[in-house]
């Protein structure tokens, strides 16, 4: 059964929460807490009971629970969850109603939210939406389509931007990535592209063409640095770019194609738009 409350719909099977605009980004723990609160509307759920249910057999700091409660208040509206001082929390929003699961899996929300239908990561044996974000959590995103391309990049710009000897990137259609919390700040690293990072924690997040596009190929895509995905495992890189800058002490033993920046047709084309060779 799904649970409907106000303009929200909680799909228990796929562990997703929808509002009328589409999917609401919630961490797995926040989702668990919400389910527990919804099962006993207007009743206090003691903190100990919440810790036991959500973090069984784990020592968790007191403020971890508060962090999840504030994430839920942000997602639902502040007055949906009431703090009962010294005891716990209670759900105080519209009464949840159990409704049959949506028959049309493509139309999960109250209204159609096709463009926000998440791509589900099934690699852990559990259906979870493909999500990611920065180190501090201020920037979060949902991915709704499979990547167009995955690669390693050893170029000097990626090395400096990430502070790592090599980056791994997953390129998506621009419309397939939605920022559900915050947004990257952008640094224009070349005449035709900009790099996104979290203003708060500095995490390297994205690489994308600038607007207006300099050529037809430099439009409508965004590269997400693969390790910022909550589960980067399925997005194995399929080729190497920028191998002219590969550090000599890094050995990656795969048989994937290796391309120098000056041999990349896309980079040659972009720099040529400014009458410049690939640096
Ligand atoms: Zn951050
Ligand atoms: Zn690079």
Tell me the angle at which helices 28-39 and 62-76 cross, rounded to the nearest 10 degrees: 80
CATH architecture of 2-107: Orthogonal Bundle (1.10)
Residue 178 C-alpha to ligand 1 middle, in angstroms?
Answer: 16
Q: Which ligand is nearest to the CA of 166?
A: 2
Q: Tell me: pLDDT of 91 over 50.
A: yes
Residue 259 C-alpha to ligand 1 middle, in angstroms?
Answer: 32
Of 191 and 13, the one with more pLDDT: 191
Residue 205 C-alpha to ligand 1 middle, in angstroms?
Answer: 9
Angle at 145 between CA 139 and CA 150, to 5 degrees: 80
Do the bridges between strand 120-121 and strand 128-129 make them parallel or antiparallel, or are there none, so unpaired? Answer: antiparallel
145 within 8 A of 176, measured Cβ to Cβ: yes
Q: Which of 246, 264, 262 is nearest to 254 (CA)?
A: 246
Q: Is 67 helix (H, G, I), strand (E, B) or coil?
A: helix
pLDDT at 108 (0 to 100): 42
To the nearest whole number, what is the mean pLDDT of the chain?
90
List Cβ<8 Å contacts ≥24 apart for 122-130: 123/231, 123/233, 123/234, 124/231, 126/15, 127/13, 127/14, 127/15, 128/15, 128/28, 128/230, 128/231, 129/16, 129/23, 130/229, 130/230, 130/231
274 within 8 A of 191, measured Cβ to Cβ: yes
27-67: per-residue pLDDT in tens?
888 998 999 999 899 899 999 999 988 888 888 888 889 99
Q: Which ligand is nearest to the CA of 134?
A: 1
Q: Which ligand is nearest to the CA of 183?
A: 1
Residue 55 and residue 177: Cα distance in Å, rounded?
Answer: 30
Q: What percent of the chain has pLDDT over 70?
A: 94
133 within 8 A of 196, measured Cβ to Cβ: no
As a whole number, mean pLDDT of residues 106-131 equals 63
Q: Tell me: pLDDT of 260 over 70.
A: yes
Q: What percent of the chain has pLDDT over 90?
A: 71
In this structure, what token pair is assigned to residue 253? 């033993």
What residues does the ion ligand 2 have nearby, CB within 5 Å? 153, 155, 158
**Taking the CA of residue 121 as centre, how many other CA atoms within 13 Å lie in the half-sphere pointing to its CB?**
17
Residue 110 — pLDDT band, cuts 50, 70, 90? Answer: very low
Lowest mean pLDDT among 50-64, 97-111, 117-131, 264-278: 97-111
128-272: which CATH number, 3.40.50.1980, 3.40.50.720, 3.90.800.10, 3.90.1590.10? 3.90.1590.10
Q: Tell me: pLDDT of 111 over 80.
A: no
Domain ranges (residues) in the chain: 2-107, 128-272
pLDDT at 126 (0 to 100): 67
Residue 114 — pLDDT band, cuts 50, 70, 90? Answer: very low
Q: Which ligand is nearest to the CA of 193?
A: 2
195-207: per-residue pLDDT in tens?
999 999 999 999 9
Q: Tell me: pLDDT of 248 over 70.
A: yes
Q: Which ligand is nearest to the CA of 246?
A: 2
Angle at 93 between CA 64 and CA 113, to 5 degrees: 85
33: CB partners within 8 A, 6+ apart: 50, 54, 65, 68, 69, 72
224 within 8 A of 172, measured Cβ to Cβ: yes
Q: Tell me: pLDDT of 175 over 50.
A: yes
Residue 174 C-alpha to ligand 2 middle, in angstroms?
Answer: 19
Q: Tell me: pLDDT of 113 over 80.
A: no
Residue 61 C-alpha to ligand 1 middle, in angstroms?
Answer: 21
CB atoms within 10 A of CB 46: 12
Q: Tell me: pLDDT of 103 over 80.
A: no
pLDDT at 102 (0 to 100): 60
């Amino acid at each position: 059964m799904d649970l409907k409350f106000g303009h929200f719909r909680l799909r228990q099977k796929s562990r997703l929460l929808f509002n009328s605009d589409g999917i609401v980004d919630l961490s797995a723990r926040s989702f668990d807490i919400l389910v527990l609160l919804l099962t006993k509307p207007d009743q206090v759920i003691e903190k100990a009971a919440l810790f036991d249910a959500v973090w069984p057999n784990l020592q968790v700091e007191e403020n971890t629970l508060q962090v999840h409660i504030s994430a839920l208040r942000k997602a639902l509206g502040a007055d949906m969850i009431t703090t009962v001082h010294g005891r716990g929390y209670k759900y105080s929003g519209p009464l949840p109603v159990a409704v049959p699961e949506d028959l049309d899996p493509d139309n999960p929300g109250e209204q159609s939210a096709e463009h926000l239908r998440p791509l589900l990561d099934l690699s852990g044996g559990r259906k979870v939406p493909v999500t990611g974000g920065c180190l501090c959590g201020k920037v979060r995103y949902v991915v709704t389509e499979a990547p167009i391309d995955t690669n390693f990049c050893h170029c000097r710009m990626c090395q400096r931007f990430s502070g790592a000897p090599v980056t791994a990137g997953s390129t998506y259609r621009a419309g397939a990535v939605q920022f559900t919390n915050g947004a990257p700040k952008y640094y224009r690293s070349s005449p035709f592209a900009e790099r996104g990072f979290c203003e708060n924690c500095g995490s390297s997040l994205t690489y994308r063409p600038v607007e207006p596009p300099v050529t037809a190929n430099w439009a409508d895509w965004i590269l997400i640095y693969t390790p910022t995905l909550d589960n980067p495992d399925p997005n194995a890189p399929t080729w190497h770019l920028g191998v002219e800058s590969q550090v000599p002490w890094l050995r990656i033993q795969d048989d994937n194609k290796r391309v120098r920046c000056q041999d990349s047709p896309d980079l040659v084309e972009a720099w040529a738009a400014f009458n410049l060779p690939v640096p």
